[in-house]
Amino acid sequence: MAATLARHEAQERERVDRYGEVRPPISTDFQDYKIVAVGNTIHWSKNWKTFPDFLQAREPAQRADVGDRVAGQAEERQAREILNPP
């Protein structure tokens, strides 16, 4: 159990180091469907095999919205680090 927790914590640190303090994707596979949670909405499709497949299937305006939110969160993180270095 401790090894599993340590592995999860290491993976989480790596994700934060790579992408910043953004929420991780929430998705799972169930009976040939890829299920993705976005905010308070659940999306699903048999055509998506990976989370990027879900992103690619969205309309361009929706993809831009997701990208803008991620970019905004990254900019906020950078500003915090400049003002308050770790």
Answer whether 35's CB lies under 8 Å from 29's CB.
yes
CA distances 12 to 4, 24, 55, Å, are 12, 9, 22
Average pLDDT of the chain to the nearest whole number: 82
Per the model's pLDDT, the better-predicted residue between 25 and 32 turns out to be 32
Single pTM value for the model: 0.54
16 Cβ partners below 8 Å, 6+ apart?
none
Share of the chain above pLDDT 70, in %: 79
pLDDT of the residue at 86: 61
pLDDT in tens, 53-79: 888 887 766 666 666 666 667 677 777
- Of 41, 16, 7, the residue nearest 27 (C-alpha): 41
Weakest-pLDDT range from 17-26, 38-47, 51-60, 63-72: 63-72
